[in-house]
Amino acid sequence: MALSKKIQPLVVVLQLICTVTAVHALSLEECVQLALKNNPDLQKQQLSVELAHEDVAEQKSVNFGTLDIVGSYTHYNLPHTLAPLTPASIAFGAADVPTTQDLFGTAVVYEVPLFTGFAQTRTVEAADLQREMAGATLKLSREQLIYNVRTLYVQILSLQAQEKAQASYVLSLQRLYDDVTRELALGRKARIDQLKAAADLKNARAVRERIGGNVRITKAALAALLDIDQVPEVEEIDLSSESIESIHEDFTDRFSGLQRLRAARLATEKNSKLVEKSKAALYPQLLFNTSYGRNFGPNDSSNQNSGDWENQEVWQAGLYLKWNIFDFGGNRAKVGKARVLERQSRYEQLKTELELKRALKEAVTKINTAVTDYNSAREEFAMTRETETIEQVRFEQGAADINDLLYAKARNQLALSRFTGAGYTYRTAWFYLEYLLENGEKR
């Protein structure tokens, strides 16, 4: 019993700790950092960068050639010498020359391309450009992920605000329904007033449930980006009017530092290198090869030293030249295909720049439109709230019917939803602009 009394305070403390931990709300920055750390798509993109690094190392290693250890075994139906013969080698007795039907050979072989028509040089340069492109693409993927997380985060806040407002609206309609029911029992209100109040109450409850479902769906989408089981409560974002302002700038002066344009330029440069690589087939190919090893095996039965194992040192060094002079148009077609790809990349680069200009104008317009909507919605909400108050007083005094009051309440609820949504729409528009300017990680 004494031990139980000692444990009880500890249990209470642990429960408090668990409660505090459970209600910890995620901030927007925490969500972004979780996504950058856990998102599988981003981790896959990071591996693409590592892959590009390895490809560069692989292509550069080709310039140094290859060093191999080789071995062989061949059985012949007739005896073979362990090494090629010369007249001098048999001048003092051919019977002493080792011969075998089971020839073993081991050697160390080194082979390196001396000239490939600049194909290998262009391959390394293209791999370097691909590595830079992978880095630029990773940066864009991070910015895209940050934008998606922020957008979903703001959508959750917006939907939660709408759900809270709708819950207040439902409570207001419930009170109205209860008042009308009491007035009906006293004979002061008609049955039709109760039916209208009940109908609006049921509709408001359905809307509240629908908004709650959208909150759960959006949280599930955010949890998938963060690679967590579920998203807890999220912190509010400041939507004070002081932080909402219009902008008047086209941001074209920032184009030079944007990774999406850099990636397009790198793709064009890479395809230019591939055009030059395709022309390498028009040049001669020169290869250096050298090897050192030994051939050995048992003397065959025709040899005077039959059964004795012999070995012979063998080495060689040589140059191999190949120059294709006619291939029925194959090389010319390869060069033509490479040039077409280069032209396509140039058009893609132009398209990327034009699309970015369009998107920036769209982002600026969205921000300024959101500012206008926010100010308008704020004024509308203030007026509809005052109207609802007046209609409530008039209804209680019998100077207005329930239709006027229900309309005023619904109008005020719509104005509140629009006002809340306008603030979050403004934040989303800013997030889109920061995504285009690749400033997501600089905030």
- Domain at 419, CATH number: 1.20.1600.10
Residues 358 and 435 placed together within one structural domain of the fold = yes
Assess contact for 135 and 53: CB atoms under 8 A. no
Residues 404 and 260 placed together within one structural domain of the fold = yes
The Cα 210–Cα 420 span in angstroms is 17
- What is the residue whose two structure tokens read 């990773």? 138
For the chain, give the number of residues. 443
Alpha carbon 441 to chain centroid distance? 15
Q: Fill in the amino acid letter for 68.
A: D
Residues 150 and 214 placed together within one structural domain of the fold = yes
State whether residue 30 is helix, strand or coil.
helix
On whether residue 46 sits in a domain, the answer given is no
Choose between 58 and 86: higher pLDDT.
Answer: 58
Contacts of 179 (CB under 8 A, 6+ apart): none
Assess contact for 128 and 56: CB atoms under 8 A. yes
On whether residue 42 sits in a domain, the answer given is no
- How many other β-carbons are positioned within 10 Å of the β-carbon of residue 379? 12
Residues 357 and 209 placed together within one structural domain of the fold = yes
Q: What is the pLDDT of residue 125?
A: 93
* Of the candidates 267, 297, 372, the residue with the CA atom closest to the CA atom of residue 71: 297
- What is the residue whose two structure tokens read 């892959």? 51
Choose between 220 and 252: higher pLDDT.
Answer: 220
On whether residue 104 sits in a domain, the answer given is yes
Least confident of 90-99, 102-111, 188-197, 203-212: 90-99
* Residues of the domain holding 125: 118-283+327-443
On whether residue 291 sits in a domain, the answer given is yes
The Cα 253–Cα 418 span in angstroms is 35
Residue 311, strand partner residues: 296
Residue where a domain terminates, one of 261, 296, 322? 322
Assess contact for 225 and 26: CB atoms under 8 A. no
On whether residue 47 sits in a domain, the answer given is no
On whether residue 82 sits in a domain, the answer given is yes
Contacts of 149 (CB under 8 A, 6+ apart): 28, 31, 32, 35, 222, 225, 226
Residues 233 and 245 placed together within one structural domain of the fold = yes
User: How many domains would you assign to the chain?
Assistant: 2
On whether residue 32 sits in a domain, the answer given is no
Residues 302 and 335 placed together within one structural domain of the fold = no
On whether residue 277 sits in a domain, the answer given is yes
Residues 306 and 389 placed together within one structural domain of the fold = no
Residues 242 and 338 placed together within one structural domain of the fold = yes
Q: What is the pLDDT of residue 315?
A: 93
Residues 134 and 217 placed together within one structural domain of the fold = yes
Q: In this model, does residue 16 exceed pLDDT 80?
A: no
Which two tokens mark 378?
A: 């704020």
- Interior/surface letters 193-217, b for 16+ CB within 10 angstroms, e for the rest: bbebbeebbeebbebbeebbebbee
Phi, psi of 354 (to 5 degrees): -65, -40
Residue where a domain terminates, one of 294, 322, 350? 322
Average pLDDT over residues 8-12: 42
Q: In this model, does residue 348 exceed pLDDT 70?
A: yes
Residues 106 and 249 placed together within one structural domain of the fold = no
pLDDT band at 12 (very low <50, low <70, confident <90, very high): very low
Average pLDDT over residues 322-345: 90
Residues 245 and 345 placed together within one structural domain of the fold = yes
Average pLDDT over residues 14-20: 40
Residues 183 and 257 placed together within one structural domain of the fold = yes
Which pTM does this prediction carry? 0.81
